[in-house]
Amino acid sequence: MVKITFVEADGVSYDIKAPEGWSLMEAAFHNGVEGIEAECGGACNCATCHVYIDERYLDKLPPIGSTEDEMLECTAAERRANSRLSCQIELTAELDGIVVDLPETQI
Amino acid sequence: MSDAGIVIVGCGHAGLSTAETLRRRGYRGRVRLIGDEAGLPYQRPPLSKQFLKGEWDQSRLIQRNAEFYVKHDIELIPGQMATSLDVGGRSLALESGERLTWDNLVLATGAKLKRLQVSGADAAGVYYLRTLAQAKALRAALSGATQIVVIGGGFIGLEAAAAFVDAGKSVCILNGADSLLPRAASGPVARHMAGLHLGRGAQVENAIELAGFDTQGGRVSGVTLRDGRSFPADIVLVGIGVEPDTELAQTAGLKCKDGILIDEQCRTSAPDILAAGDCARFRHPLYHRLVRLESIQNAIEQGKHAAGTLLGDTDPYRAVPWFWSDQYDTKLQIAGLADGHDLEVIRGDEQGERFSVFCYARRRLLAVESINAPADHMIARRLIQSGISPTADDAANPDFNLRDLL
Ligand SMILES: Cc1cc2nc3c(=O)[nH]c(=O)nc-3n(C[C@H](O)[C@H](O)[C@H](O)COP(=O)(O)OP(=O)(O)OC[C@H]3O[C@@H](n4cnc5c(N)ncnc54)[C@H](O)[C@@H]3O)c2cc1C
Ligand code: FES
């Protein structure tokens, strides 16, 4: 299991454990983290699973794919250097302890 | 108001979205969510994609975990069919015999499969795909199959066909219409998708007329057409579409017309009863006609809208419809509704792997269908929502930045 902390824009945080192989989005969604909409269920079609990643973990993530990159240009909240779509990030042991900030809005 | 609260029928995407939104927005009354399927509410789209391919197990289909419902005080009542509705008496009967009273009722009963009525249609080896139970049965049967016939060239049929081809099966798609995706896609997109399936080795037969299924010892062994051709099969998947589930509404006397008729606030002809999702038909303010949508976007957003109405919102539902379908490595995305378009403008290379089709009627942009062009899709949603129509020249010019119009 991978331990993740999601922090909502208003400061509310959730400590969650999810299995390796799941996506970061799924970990949040199953557990009812509110700042993630994930309308398309992880198909990289909605950009409503936008997150800001803990800088210390950025280089442990898979690179941004071309579809994700285009979708990130269309997020509701501003795209930053540490922006990712959480459905495109597979949980691995390396990500244990990651802290993920959620934007103010997804829609 | 009594303390009966809100009862929602249907635990699909629309029903769950209504329940969640009520809680997120602070509704304090009772919320009960009733569905005839067993277990926790799950996502349908992966059934014909990741789940069918064996990439995901069942646990990944589940929407919210069990604690979520407890934490948010959403009373989930799965595995129970609602059998009759008493509008005047504000009550709902369940198959268990229990009778629930409500202050407001939300019908999110979705859609049910159209079934084939030909000889042999009941044979073993003939599958349909709408529910998790059906997807599990189909997935379990795959390992023993080498030849699969898919009947229907709509989204479900094509997605399943792609999963079968990826699994190394020999696949034949028998499509009643003249082209694939006849209800949903423009000519260029339909041709691209046909080329994709053919290129991967699937056989595609359009404009077919079914005579019946061949059977051996009660099992399907093939499919025969009226013109005499026949196609051997170990398994047949039928994907010929769905119809709205209006049974409860209709027998209770609510107005229905190929869907439960709702107004722009999701109210049915009985003002205390709302409806949302695949089961509902409504006048879309962007298209000025009655529509009934079969999509996740609509189920989720209309579900939210119904919750909003119950909380006192008065704004009309006017979300731009959008849809996606993933087949092989190709991403098809549709923004808007293309029905009735009189002009198709291509942006990108129609012969290539990435392009969009801008569909217009009398110079107004109705819809954009994109193949592997997610940025076009996202911009199209915003253009349509804002009622902005790029000129055909600008749409066709890849150097013109459509974002500048927003
Ligand atoms: C295999 C598959 C793949 C799909 N892929 C996509 C996709 O990629 N993108 C997309 O946008 N859409 C897709 N869709 C469509 C999408 O899943 C539907 O539009 C969506 O599920 C509609 O949600 P809903 O809540 O309105 O209805 P449903 O999901 O149909 O839920 C309605 C529920 O109500 C229950 N019910 C009905 N009557 C009663 C009753 N009287 N008592 C109790 N329960 C009742 C039903 O059993 C059902 O569980 C797909 C659909 C399928 C089947
Ligand atoms: S869940 Fe839709 S893009 Fe990530």
Q: In this prediction, does ipTM exceed 0.90? A: yes
Q: How far apart are CA B242 and CA B258, in angstroms?
A: 11
- pLDDT over threshold 80, residue B276: yes
Quickly count helices (H) and strands (E) in chain A: 2, 5
Q: Classify strands B355-361 and B364-371 as parallel, antiparallel or unpaired.
A: antiparallel
Tokens at A60, concatenated = 């442990």
The number of angstroms, rounded, from the C-alpha of B70 to the middle of its chain's C-alpha atoms is 28
- pLDDT over threshold 90, residue B182: no
Query: By three-state DSSP, how is residue B197 classified?
Result: helix
How far, in Å, are A34, B181, B252 from residue A9 at the CA level?
10, 42, 45
- pLDDT over threshold 90, residue B66: yes
pLDDT tens-digit series, residues B24-36: 999 999 999 999 9
- pLDDT over threshold 80, residue B331: yes
Q: Which residue of B7, B13, B247 sits with most ligand 1 atoms within 8 Å of its CB, as the best mutation to test the pocket?
A: B13
Beta bridge partners of B107: B9, B275
Q: How far apart are CA A18 and CA B141, in angstroms?
A: 30
Q: How far apart are CA B30 and CA B20, in angstroms?
A: 12
Backbone angles phi, psi at A57, to 5 degrees: -105, -5
Nearest residue to B240 via CA among B153, B112, B139, B332: B153
pLDDT tens-digit series, residues B291-312: 999 999 999 999 999 999 999 9
Burial of B130 (0-12, 13-18, 19+ CB in 10 A): middle
* Mean pLDDT computed over B202-217: 97
Q: What is the reported pLDDT for B1?
A: 58
A71 to B60: CB separation less than 8 angstroms, yes or no: no
Element of type H or E holding B394: helix B392-396
Beta bridge partners of B212: B119, B224
Burial of B399 (0-12, 13-18, 19+ CB in 10 A): exposed
pLDDT tens-digit series, residues B339-349: 999 999 999 99
Q: What is the reported pLDDT for B405?
A: 95
pLDDT tens-digit series, residues A56-92: 999 999 999 999 999 999 999 999 999 999 999 999 9
First to last CA, chain B: 45
Ligand 2 center from residue A46 Cα (angstroms):
5
Q: How far apart are CA B33 and CA B265, in angstroms?
A: 20
pLDDT tens-digit series, residues A6-61: 999 999 999 999 999 999 999 999 999 989 999 999 999 999 999 999 999 999 99
pLDDT tens-digit series, residues B44-56: 999 999 999 999 9
Q: How far apart are CA B198 and CA B88, in angstroms?
A: 56
First to last CA, chain A: 30
Query: By three-state DSSP, how is residue A71 classified?
Result: helix
The structure's pTM equals 0.97
Q: What percent of chain B has pLDDT over 90?
A: 98
Asked if A72 is an interface residue toward chain B (Cβ–Cβ < 8 A), one would say no
* Mean pLDDT computed over B344-360: 96
Take atom 3 of ligand 2 and give the residue whose Cα is closest: A44
Nearest residue on chain B to A74, alpha-carbon basis: B378
Q: What is the reported pLDDT for B62?
A: 96
Q: Classify strands B91-94 and B99-101 as parallel, antiparallel or unpaired.
A: antiparallel
Q: What is the reported pLDDT for A62?
A: 93
pLDDT tens-digit series, residues B142-167: 999 999 999 999 999 999 999 999 99
Among the bound ligands, the one closest to the CA of A25: 2
Q: What is the reported pLDDT for B3?
A: 86
Beta bridge partners of B323: B334
Q: Classify strands B280-284 and B289-291 as parallel, antiparallel or unpaired.
A: antiparallel
Q: How far apart are CA B177 and CA B158, in angstroms?
A: 14
Asked if B62 is an interface residue toward chain A (Cβ–Cβ < 8 A), one would say yes
Asked if A100 is an interface residue toward chain B (Cβ–Cβ < 8 A), one would say no
Residue B211's pLDDT band, with cuts at 50, 70 and 90, is very high
Q: What percent of chain B has pLDDT over 70?
A: 100
Residue B280's pLDDT band, with cuts at 50, 70 and 90, is very high
